[in-house]
Structure 1
Amino acid sequence: MKPLSKNNFSISGLYTNIMAALVVSFVALSLGASFGLLSGRGALSGMIAAGVIAFVTSLFGGTRIQCSGPTAPMSAVAIAVLVSAEQLSASQLDGMTINQLFNFTVILSGLMLGLAALFRAGNLIKWIPNSVISGFMSGIAILIWIGQIKQLFVVDDLWTFDKTALLNSGIALLTLAIILLFPKIRNKTFQRILAFFPATLMAIIIGTILVHLFNIPIETINIDSNILSVSIGEWVQSQIPTHISFELLLFAAPLAFQLALLCYLDTLMTALVIDKISGEDTQRNRELVAQGIANAAAALLGGLPGAQATIRSVLILKEGATSRFAGILVGAFVIVEIFVFLDWISLIPKAVFIGVLFKVGYDVLDRVVIRELWKIMLGRKALLSKKDIPLIVLTILVTLFVDLSVAAIGATILFYIIQKLTNNSLPDLNKLLVKH
């Protein structure tokens, strides 16, 4: 594919970029709310991040045409940060709130990304083996699915299969079915509708209408809209610690490192995908700086951390975006939509977002590698080497049961030890790419 032209200022070009941004903003808002619920911080936190991160990274980032925001892997790590913050008593860190602990950790991870860029660490992405990334992302997909199944069937640490659980499951499965099946309908008129209202947005709208039309007794999302009733200055002041201590740094540093490492992987792997589509080359270290600034800015407003997002970035390119302006507008549109549609968003059932997150897990899973593993099991010729299987499985298991950072770093070190001991040449690291 030829590189995108950078000289695209015209009325028609401006219109195309505006419309591309509008379409992607609906998807970004929906996924932001979903990831906010996944993380435990709430839908509004994810929506704020979807706007702020998209705006900042498009303005300053090293990938010219992109859309960043909350992602499934980053939200999975956010859960760990939130749980760790909740486990501390107020007296241990001078009465700081859980939100302040969480946001300080995110801001610190942003500084770490800046340091990584300063030391030109962006180019190291090419040394992370694909088998490790595949296992890492597949492990996160499984974590997402487990979390959503628990949302449906676990109440007070007990499994339940009562009427409410079954109703929620039905709505979640309906949402998932719409997202998967609507794009397969070949009717031209329907496809034109989907071009403006993507399947994810259609599923959310249809699921919400059905629940309220038939008065189905299930829970809707609860949005804390306090941010809309106070000044920005007061809100920001309430989100960050009033002082920094050694104990605070001791708590935040390991978790911030996990966030920074995952943002590094998530962002730069996506950049590889976008570069292949656009024909351009990402300025990787500049992209890391932008992601760090964006996450810190989102944290100051009570938002989630994020990374460059494959699905949204690919979508904005497919919609014809040719300028940074498109990504900047995505962020601006999302912020406006939060204020305009907040009351409507609060009507959406939680089960609808659970269905969306089941699809997100499907997108995160490295399905190419799964197919190759299946071929090996059947004794067919496969692109994947049999010696890669133990490393993929090990990475998945460590991701599930130990720690995301240990999985990424430990498996990479193990990969090169094995390569050294067996004297094998390195594989094509970018042969198989994962999506999120």
Structure 2
Amino acid sequence: MKYLYHLAILFIALPLLSNAQSNYKPGYIVTAKGDTLRGLIDYQDWEGSPKLFRFKANSTANAQRFTAINTSYVEISQLDAYQKYQINISTDITDIQHLETFRDTSFRTDTVFLKILQKGKNIVLYSFTDHLKTRFFVKETASEKPPYELIYKIYKRDFKTFNDNTYVKQLFDLAAEFKNDNEVAATSIEHAEYKKEDILKAASAINNISPAEYKLKYEDKTRVLFFAGTGASLATFQLSSVQASSKLNNTSVMPMITAGIDIIANPATSRFFFRVEAAITQDKFKEAFPNATSPYYPLDYSFSLIGVSIIPQFVYNAYNTENFKLYLSPGVQIAFLSEKDAHYNQINGGTITPIDPLLVFNTVAATVALKAGAKINKRFDISGSYQLPTTLTRARNGKIDLNSIFIGVNYYFGKN
């Protein structure tokens, strides 16, 4: 199918565009010499802690590259900040599937950018991520000493798993030093797992940050966007039965209605997010064909198929600018089906004789949906999707397979 071919080309080609993708946001860089450069910084969904920042003095200027060699501090306004330090970094493995059989104390000394998670009146909390794991670092705000790692290790010995939660003691020591070893801080630290949310709450208690202030600054900033629209459903039915001498293909083009939500975990980049879309369709089948079995009178078969589909999907913005995005969104279509106005007739000259339904339809069908589209000016979404073939009927005298193409336009409501 020509449309499927073009869609496949898009799925292959669009990720290549992201290699040259940029997402410049206001910010500033402090160079190793102490100069402050204000302008635009390319902000990405870095898989690990960044080693390189691209900077422009303005939107038309050429990009400059800043690394740990010539940079001491980077801040993307109202988003993230990074400070350069030379520190000791643990190199043990905490992946439960690849544990050592001993307590690994190995480390490396490196000059890296630490992400500032919280800068409070008592301590500063940082994170650093590489191919091995994510680590958390702290330093006293007023101290000139570099940050030190909050230690967490996990290893196996004699078929038992051991957790070294040294970070808990380190946090308790900091709380006692700043006289914040109260019940709130103690509870936060004692129950803290080695993950961002828990460590951040413990640091907040040490920094005397109130629950209300914590919620305002640090709690989930996920954005939910609502959309609705219309389009066309191109449904191709393939009928196979003992009465038909060959497979019959029948295509209908009918309007459809769509609506849904986008759940965006990182609105600053919007590179990946989760979408749940609903579609209401009414597709029609009508076919007359000679009966391949006795009494060989021609047959006339028709029906309408109403489908209410739920399509959860993961969206990847392969080309991603503020006012124009090209995306791919593979997902799963779950359709709840209702057959209406079914007619199965035997035609003998001028005599039309209704006979038993040819096939019994399933009430639920599931298939894979492959979608590509473009979002324009934050409000309009134009897309096309291909639903892989799925069988609609239970075995009886044959079967009907369906594959569909959805072409639609959606409009986003509210703040976008």
Q: Normalized against structure 2, the TM-score is what?
A: 0.19
Greater strand share, 1 or 2?
2
Relative contact order higher in (CA < 8 Å, ≥ 6 apart)? 1
Which has the larger Rg?
2
